[in-house]
Structure 1
Amino acid sequence: MGAAGVEGQFVGPMPIEDMLKLLPVVDMKTKFVPSFEHDFFSALDTQDEEKETRDSFIQRLEESQAISGFQLVNSSTYSYADSKPLVPDVVAYKQSVAVPQNSIDYMELELIFEFRTQQDKADPFDHRATKDSIDSESQLDSTESQHPFEARGDANKVCPRRIYNYAKMWLGAQHRTHCYIVDIGDPYARIIRFDRAGALVSEQINYRIDGHLLLEFLWRHSQTTDEARGHDTTVRMVPLDDEKVKLAQSKLYQWRPQDHNVKVLEMDIPTSAGGVAHTVYVWGALSEPHSLIGRATRGYPAWDPSRPEGEDIVFLKDSWRSCASGMEKETDILQTLNKHGVRNVPQYLYGDDIPGHRTITQDYTEAKWNAGGVAKDVMKRVHIRFIEDVVGLPLWEFENPRQLVVAIHDAIIAHQDAYQICGILHRDVSLGNILRRRDGKGGVLNDWDLAARYNIETHTPLKDKRQQSRSGTWQFMSIGLLEDPSKVHHCIDDAESFIWALLYCTMRYMKTSIVPIRLQNTMEDLFDQVNRGLPGELNTGGAGKQSFVTGNRFSFGGFVVNDNEPLTSLIAKLFKSIILEFRIRLAGSHIHIDELIEDHQFTREQAQETFIRETNELGVQLYLLMESTLKDSLSKDWPKSNPGWHDHLRHQNS
Structure 2
Amino acid sequence: MDPPSVSISCDLMTDALAHTPRKLSSTQTTDYYEVLRKPEKFTTPIPTVYLYSNENSAQRYGFGSKLAKERYPRLAEASARVTVGPMPPADFLEKFLPVSDEVLQAMPRSQNAFRDIKASNKKESHIYQALLWALNADTSNKTRWLRHEARCPGFVFCDTSEHPDESGGSVGSVKPDIICYPDQYLPFVEVTKSSARPWEATANMSFAATFIEVKRKRTDDLYHDPSDHDPDKGEYKFVLGSRSSLDTKYAKLKEYLGQNVAYATECLSRQHRRFCYSVSVSGNRARLMRWDRAGVVVTEAIDFVDDPQLLCEFFWRFAHLSDEERGYDMSVEPASEEEETLFKDAITAHIRTQIDCSDSEVLSRCLDTHYMPGFVSAVHLPHDAAHSQSSSPRRLLVSRPVNSPLSFSGRCTRVYWAVDPTPDTNRKRNMKVVLLKDTWRLEGRGAEIEGNVLRMLREAKVRNIPSVLCDGDVLIKSTSGSDVSVVDRTIMHQYMDPRYTWVSHRRVVRADILKRVHYRLVLDIAGFDLLSLSGTHELLHSTYDALQALLDAHRLSSRLHRDVHPGNIILYKSSEAPSSRRTGYLIDWDLSCTTDGTQNVRDVYRPSFQWQFVAASLLDVTAAKQPHSILHDMESMFWVVIYCGMTRLPFTRPTTAEEFIFIMNSLFDSSTPYQPGQVVTGGDSKAKNLLDQRHISRFVWKCSHFATWISNLCRMQHSERATEWTPEALDAYWQNFLNTFDNQLPLNDGMDNIKKFGDVLSSHVADNLKGSAKQATTAVHSGRKRPHPSSPEVARPAESSSDSETETNSSVRASTSMAKVRRVSSTSGGRSHRSHASSATRPPPSATSTVLTAPDNGRGRGSTLRSKSGGFLTPSTAKGKSTVGSRSGASVRSATTSHSHQSARNGNSESSPGPSKQDRPSAKGKRR
Q: TM-score, normalised by structure 2?
A: 0.61
User: What corresponds to 2:890 in structure 1?
Assistant: none
| d(CA) in 2 for partners of 1:461, 1:471 | 22
Q: Which amino acid aligns with 1:371?
A: S
User: Does structure 1 residue 371 correspond to structure 2 residue 507?
Assistant: no
User: Does structure 1 residue 96 correspond to structure 2 residue 180?
Assistant: no
Q: In 2 relative to 1, CA 132–405 (structure 1 residues): closer, same or farther, beyond 3 Å?
A: farther
Asked if 2 retains the 8 angstrom alpha-carbon contact of 1:392 and 1:436, the reply is yes
| d(CA) in 1 for partners of 2:432, 2:471 | 15
- What SS does the corresponding residue of 1:189 show, helix, strand or coil? strand
Asked if 1 retains the 8 angstrom alpha-carbon contact of 2:333 and 2:378, the reply is yes
User: What corresponds to 2:478 in structure 1?
Assistant: none
Displacement, 1:66?
2.9
Displacement, 1:38?
6.5
User: Does structure 1 residue 306 correspond to structure 2 residue 422?
Assistant: yes
User: What corresponds to 1:638 in structure 2?
Assistant: 742
Asked if 1 retains the 8 angstrom alpha-carbon contact of 2:464 and 2:586, the reply is yes
Displacement, 1:479?
0.3
Displacement, 1:452?
1.2
| d(CA) in 2 for partners of 1:70, 1:176 | 18
| d(CA) in 1 for partners of 2:377, 2:181 | 21
How far does the alpha carbon of each residue in 1:343-402 deviate from its partner, in whole angstroms, 9 at most, with x for none? Answer: 101100002111242222222133211004522121222111121000122224334422
Alignment partner of 2:733 out of 629, 636, 646:
629
User: What corresponds to 2:213 in structure 1?
Assistant: 114
User: What corresponds to 1:580 in structure 2?
Assistant: 718
Q: In 2 relative to 1, CA 372–231 (structure 1 residues): closer, same or farther, beyond 3 Å?
A: farther
User: What corresponds to 1:493 in structure 2?
Assistant: 632
Unpaired segments of 5 or more residues in structure 2?
A: 1-71, 138-147, 192-201, 245-249, 352-365, 476-486, 575-580, 760-928
User: Does structure 1 residue 54 correspond to structure 2 residue 117?
Assistant: no
How far does the alpha carbon of each residue in 1:295-352 deviate from its partner, in whole angstroms, 9 at most, with x for none? Answer: 1111111111337678721111111112353321111211211222221011000021
Displacement, 1:4?
4.0
Q: In 2 relative to 1, CA 22–256 (structure 1 residues): closer, same or farther, beyond 3 Å?
A: farther
- What SS does the corresponding residue of 1:115 show, helix, strand or coil? strand
Alignment partner of 1:11 out of 55, 70, 84:
84
Q: Which amino acid aligns with 1:407?
A: S
Asked if 1 retains the 8 angstrom alpha-carbon contact of 2:114 and 2:134, the reply is no
| d(CA) in 1 for partners of 2:511, 2:744 | 54
Alignment partner of 1:162 out of 259, 262, 276:
259
User: What corresponds to 2:8 in structure 1?
Assistant: none
Alignment partner of 1:504 out of 643, 656, 659:
643
User: What corresponds to 1:140 in structure 2?
Assistant: none
Asked if 2 retains the 8 angstrom alpha-carbon contact of 1:264 and 1:281, the reply is yes
User: What corresponds to 1:354 in structure 2?
Assistant: 474
| d(CA) in 1 for partners of 2:532, 2:124 | 50
| d(CA) in 2 for partners of 1:638, 1:422 | 31
User: Does structure 1 residue 125 correspond to structure 2 residue 262?
Assistant: no
| d(CA) in 2 for partners of 1:353, 1:513 | 49
Displacement, 1:417?
1.7
| d(CA) in 1 for partners of 2:235, 2:541 | 58
Displacement, 1:187?
2.0
Between 167-176 and 535-544, report the one with greater CA deviation: 535-544
Q: Report how many aligned residue pairs link the two structures.
A: 602
User: Which of structures 1 and 2 has the bigger CA Rg?
Assistant: 2
| d(CA) in 1 for partners of 2:611, 2:463 | 26
Alignment partner of 2:174 out of 86, 91, 96:
86
Q: Which amino acid aligns with 1:238?
A: A
Q: TM-score, normalised by structure 1?
A: 0.84
User: What corresponds to 2:670 in structure 1?
Assistant: 529
Displacement, 1:266?
0.9
User: What corresponds to 1:105 in structure 2?
Assistant: 204
Asked if 2 retains the 8 angstrom alpha-carbon contact of 1:199 and 1:361, the reply is yes
| d(CA) in 2 for partners of 1:38, 1:302 | 48
- What SS does the corresponding residue of 1:98 show, helix, strand or coil? helix
How far does the alpha carbon of each residue in 1:6-41 deviate from its partner, in whole angstroms, 9 at most, with x for none? Answer: 122110001112211234446x36646236657433
Asked if 1 retains the 8 angstrom alpha-carbon contact of 2:160 and 2:203, the reply is yes
| d(CA) in 2 for partners of 1:624, 1:441 | 25
| d(CA) in 1 for partners of 2:161, 2:423 | 49
- What SS does the corresponding residue of 2:437 show, helix, strand or coil? strand
Asked if 2 retains the 8 angstrom alpha-carbon contact of 1:123 and 1:151, the reply is no
User: What corresponds to 1:484 in structure 2?
Assistant: 621
- What SS does the corresponding residue of 1:636 show, helix, strand or coil? helix
Between 371-380 and 462-471, report the one with greater CA deviation: 462-471
Asked if 1 retains the 8 angstrom alpha-carbon contact of 2:445 and 2:602, the reply is no
Q: Which amino acid aligns with 1:448?
A: W
Alignment partner of 1:245 out of 319, 328, 340:
340
| d(CA) in 2 for partners of 1:10, 1:250 | 44
Q: Which amino acid aligns with 1:180?
A: Y
Structure with the bigger RCO (C-alpha within 8 Å, sep 6+) is: 2
User: What corresponds to 1:604 in structure 2?
Assistant: none
- What SS does the corresponding residue of 2:679 show, helix, strand or coil? coil
- What SS does the corresponding residue of 1:384 show, helix, strand or coil? strand
| d(CA) in 2 for partners of 1:511, 1:330 | 37
| d(CA) in 2 for partners of 1:331, 1:537 | 31
| d(CA) in 1 for partners of 2:301, 2:590 | 39
| d(CA) in 2 for partners of 1:363, 1:53 | 35
Matches within 5 A, 1:73-472: 73-81=158-166, 86-99=174-187, 100-102=189-191, 103-118=202-217, 121-128=219-226, 132-133=231-232, 153-239=250-336, 242-253=337-348, 254=351, 255-257=366-368, 260-261=372-373, 263-272=375-384, 275-276=387-388, 277-306=393-422, 312-323=432-443, 325-355=445-475, 356-366=487-497, 367-372=500-505, 374-439=509-574, 440-455=581-596, 462-464=599-601, 466-467=603-604, 471-472=608-609
Q: In 2 relative to 1, CA 623–203 (structure 1 residues): closer, same or farther, beyond 3 Å?
A: same
Q: In 2 relative to 1, CA 372–350 (structure 1 residues): closer, same or farther, beyond 3 Å?
A: same
Asked if 1 retains the 8 angstrom alpha-carbon contact of 2:558 and 2:594, the reply is yes
Q: In 2 relative to 1, CA 250–117 (structure 1 residues): closer, same or farther, beyond 3 Å?
A: same
Q: In 2 relative to 1, CA 560–622 (structure 1 residues): closer, same or farther, beyond 3 Å?
A: farther
- What SS does the corresponding residue of 1:644 show, helix, strand or coil? coil
| d(CA) in 1 for partners of 2:420, 2:156 | 37
| d(CA) in 2 for partners of 1:115, 1:394 | 40
User: Does structure 1 residue 70 correspond to structure 2 residue 155?
Assistant: yes
Between 197-206 and 248-257, report the one with greater CA deviation: 248-257
Displacement, 1:553?
4.4
Q: Which amino acid aligns with 1:246?
A: T
User: What corresponds to 2:113 in structure 1?
Assistant: 41
Q: Percent identity?
A: 25
- What SS does the corresponding residue of 2:457 show, helix, strand or coil? helix
How far does the alpha carbon of each residue in 1:268-290 deviate from its partner, in whole angstroms, 9 at most, with x for none? Answer: 11123674442011232211112
Q: Which amino acid aligns with 1:363?
A: Q
Q: In 2 relative to 1, CA 15–574 (structure 1 residues): closer, same or farther, beyond 3 Å?
A: same
Q: Which amino acid aligns with 1:507?
A: M
- What SS does the corresponding residue of 1:532 show, helix, strand or coil? strand
User: What corresponds to 2:198 in structure 1?
Assistant: none
Between 534-543 and 186-195, report the one with greater CA deviation: 534-543
Q: In 2 relative to 1, CA 450–88 (structure 1 residues): closer, same or farther, beyond 3 Å?
A: same
- What SS does the corresponding residue of 1:157 show, helix, strand or coil? helix
Q: In 2 relative to 1, CA 511–129 (structure 1 residues): closer, same or farther, beyond 3 Å?
A: farther
| d(CA) in 1 for partners of 2:242, 2:235 | 16
Matches within 5 A, 1:515-526: 515-517=654-656, 518-526=659-667
Asked if 2 retains the 8 angstrom alpha-carbon contact of 1:126 and 1:148, the reply is yes
- What SS does the corresponding residue of 2:755 show, helix, strand or coil? helix
